Structure 1
Amino acid sequence: MRTWASFFCSVFLAFSLALSPTADAAPQKSKATATKTVKKKSAKAVKTKKVSAKKNVRKKAVVAASNKSVRKTAGKTTTSRKFAASKKVSKKRYAVRKVRGPSYAQLHGLRGSSDPLGLQTTAVLAYDMDSNEVLYEKNADERLPIASITKLMTALVIVESGVSLDEKFKVTKEDFVRSSARSKLRNGMYLSRKQALHLALMSSDNRAAHFLARTFPGGKARFIRDMNTKAAMIGMFDSVFYDSIGLNNENKSSALDLSRLLASAGEYDLIRELSTTPMAQIPVGRRLVTSRTTNSFVANDNWDVSLQKTGLTTAAGYCLAMETEIGGKTVAIIFLDSPNKAARNQDAEKLKAWLSGQFMTASASEDSN
């Protein structure tokens, strides 16, 4: 019995020993699995962190790029504004050149008409102011828009009205007439009638011409009536005026009528002086307004201009009325509807050369007799 009991004890002991390593291994395996799981979780967390970090980096990069772009754009805008506001930048340089439409003479089939000298100007007159003789003419009796030559009549009405030329008035927004031509006058300035007259005749300032009519006793309506009354008095029967400036294209006259206007305006030394100043600095308040003549012949040594006025609108073309000395004679030269300034000046030079030749021929003929 003891022998079997010992046998069974030995077997049980051996079986227990065989099972004990398996029991110890199970916890080790479980521990290893847990470690592996922890490592996986840690790796995943690290990976997640890295992805998040990359996303954050990308976001920051996008935001930084966006901010840089905004700053860059803002900088460009600021620079552009400074550039546009800079006085050194000429607006003319970037201005789109406007193409002028057909003139009144073109629409009525007058431009391009021929004459012995081949002048490009539609209506031309050369008139001897001493003998009242027509020296040369082309469509001189045609009634055409006269643009700023109107201002000669404005000056004549002001001077003959007896109003005080030293009386000062304030420039207002009402004087800001719609025009592509520039003006030196600004809202709130104070200037005298004489100063306004100077600007109107010398540099053809439209605001100055409007200022003269607005401040006239009785206002603009009375001033325009006086202009038309004066025109009738001096025999300008083909002429009519609707404003003091010449921007109204219904202001019309003929070259022959304008020779009469030159003769009447020329009776006043003040009009002669103010219209033929090459350049002047006019004190207006605390400012000095610098203006120049619109007529290049005034400062030209080859010409002796004693009275003048230029004009330009699309309907009128380039116009000129002036009194000058040619061959010892006082001659009125009137051009209406020249196609451009260069053509107008070329025609003037050509007409002057022709008249000089005529005067020399006439003089030689008289000497031989």
Structure 2
Amino acid sequence: MRIGSKLKNYLKNSSLNDSGKIFICVCLIICITINFLKVNSFGKDLDLKSKSAVLIDGNTGRILYGKNENEKMPMASTTKIMTCIVALESGKMNQIIKVSSKAASMPKVKMYAKKGEQYYLKDLLYAMMLESFNDAAMIVAEGIGGSQEEFAKMMNKKAKEIGAKNTNFVTPNGLDADNHYSTAYDMALIGAYATKNKQFNEITNTKSYSFTDVFAKRSITVNNKDMFLTMDNEAIGIKTGFTGKAGYCFVGAVKSNGRHFVSCVLACGWPPNKSYKWKDTTTLMNYGKREYNGKKIIASGTKFQIEIPNGTKKKINVGVSEGYTTLISEDDNVKSETNFNYKLPIKKWDVVGNIIITINGKKTKKIMLYAFENVEKYDYRFVLKKIMKKFFLFYL
């Protein structure tokens, strides 16, 4: 029996008066409406297994689809994306790092590095990103930051720079720890940032890699565990993750016809549902490819004329130095608002206003407007200066 039939029979047989029956119906309608809006906050229900998921435009960071995308959650080994990017930006690939007892004691998955062994940073990054070795991540952290704690500070600083405001790193490998959390949106932002680094992409797209310790006493071969690279021929990574607390996690990235999609799924099932993260990621990417195309909202160098009251010129050319292209669907409502704010005199390249781009009512971009020429204020000072100039020219 359907809910509607049950409700009808209940109300029919109930002792409630008409006002009470109307109240119940209204409350039910409100609950159904709120629930519908929550599930379909981006206009689509993709029926994902993940507790938290997001798809963003990798070039602009705009959310294309979200499900609890700002909820703070553990993110397991997707943490290593940040560990890798901080190491790439702060270290040197030929840097030699000695294994500490702490690093050697990390739990599986690990490369079983022993205390006192020495490895090149480059090799450790491959071991960390391809096989997700926890000891490799700790060796990197201690080698670059001096300690786990100091390296975590570097990770958190970089997160803020990227715009990941709801993230706090404690460990470099993503092992469960108090106050170690992120959101699907923040991890997607970090993934988008990382995939713009050539060295990062070279590492994460490598199928297999072999290396030795510095003294060639031990040989190690690591193989890429990112199955998404074989599922989508446009995939460029990025990183899997799993802990008992976090569940299965994955940050993925695709470049398709000039479009850059980045996804993140967190708490996407627990054993034996290892395949859920691949299914959800594929669903998100297919949705993005199908629904969104790049659209140039404003071209770089666009210029137009504006009137300048009380100016020595009635009109001047103004424009933008940067363009703005983003992914747009047919259902998106794109609007622009132009604001002017200036004081005379105006010099060439002075900021004279801005253009605010909104998509579906949400501010997505602020583009500065620049003056392309000089203009002075038409007042007594200007008139006096002109008179004096003519006077001196007359008597020269």
What band does the TM-score fall into relative to the shorter chain?
Answer: 0.5 to 0.7
Secondary structure of the 1:228 match is helix
Aligned to 2:291: 358
The share of aligned pairs that are identical, in percent, is 25
Aligned mates of 1:169, 1:363 — CA distance in 2: 46
- Check 1:328–1:226 CA distance in 2 against 1; reply closer, same or farther (3 A cut): closer
Is 1:282 equivalent to 2:211 in the alignment? yes
Q: Choose from 188, 194, 210 the match for 1:265.
A: 194
Aligned partner of residue 244 in structure 1, secondary structure: coil
Against the structure 1 CA distance between its residues 330 and 217, is the aligned structure 2 distance closer, same or farther, given a 3 Å change threshold?
A: closer
Give the number of the structure with larger relative contact order, counting CA–CA contacts within 8 Å between residues 6 or more apart.
Answer: 1
Which SS does the other structure have where 2:251 is aligned? Answer: strand
Change (3 A) 1:140 1:270: same
Name 1:320's counterpart in structure 2.
250
Which structure features the higher share of strand residues?
2
User: For 1:252, what is the secondary structure of its paired residue?
Assistant: coil
Tell me which amino acid in the other structure corresponds to 1:299: T
Indicate conservation of the 8 Å contact 2:235/2:253, yes or no.
yes
Partner residue, 1:208: 136
Q: Is the CA contact (8 Å cut-off) linking 2:108 and 2:134 kept in structure 1?
A: no
The residue identity in structure 2 corresponding to 1:232 is K
Query: Which residue of 189, 198, 210 maps to 2:117?
Result: 189
Distance 1:184 1:297, change over 3 A: farther
**Alpha-carbon deviation of 1:142?**
0.7
Q: CA deviation at 1:145?
A: 0.5
State the superposition RMSD in angstroms.
2.7
AA matched with 2:289: S
Q: Which amino acid aligns with 2:46?
A: L
**Kept after mapping to 1: 8 A contact 2:61/2:189:** no
5+ long unaligned stretches in structure 1: 1-112
Q: CA deviation at 1:313?
A: 0.6
2: CA distance, partners of 1:299 / 1:314: 26
Contact 1:184–1:289, Cα closer than 8 Å, also in 2: no
Aligned counterparts, 1:1-369, within 5 A:
116-161=45-90, 163-249=91-177, 250-284=179-213, 285-300=216-231, 302-326=232-256, 328-339=258-269, 340-359=273-292
CA contact (8 A) 1:150 1:251 kept: no
Say which SS state the counterpart of residue 233 (structure 1) adopts: helix
Compare the two structures and name the one with the higher helix fraction. Answer: 1
State TM-score, norm by structure 2: 0.58
Report the alpha carbon displacement of residue 155 of structure 1 after superposing the two structures with TM: 1.4
For 2:223, the aligned partner's letter is R
Is the contact between residue 327 and residue 359 of structure 1 (CA under 8 Å) also seen in structure 2?
A: no
The structure-2 alpha-carbon separation of the partners of 1:218 and 1:207, relative to structure 1 and needing over 3 Å to count, comes to closer
- Could you tell me how far apart the structure 1 residues matched to 2:71 and 2:330 are? 34
Letter in 2 for 1:248: D
Judging changes above 3 Å, is the alpha-carbon distance between structure 1 residues 210 and 363 closer, same or farther for their aligned structure 2 residues? closer
Counterpart amino acid of residue 258 in structure 1? M
Deviation of 1:252 after TM superposition, in Å, equals 0.7
- Considering only CA atoms, is the larger Rg found in Structure 1 or Structure 2? 1
The Cα shift of 1:206 comes to 0.5
AA aligned to 1:325 is K
Question: Structure 2 CA distance, aligned partners of 1:140 and 1:317?
Answer: 16
Residues 210-245 of structure 1, C-alpha deviations (whole Å, 9 max, x = no match): 001122253322211111111122221100011111
CA shift, 1:314, in A, is 0.9
Cα separation, partners in 2 of 1:215 and 1:253, compared to 1, 3 Å: same
Q: Structure 1 residues 327 and 350, CA, compared in 2 at 3 Å: closer, same or farther?
A: farther
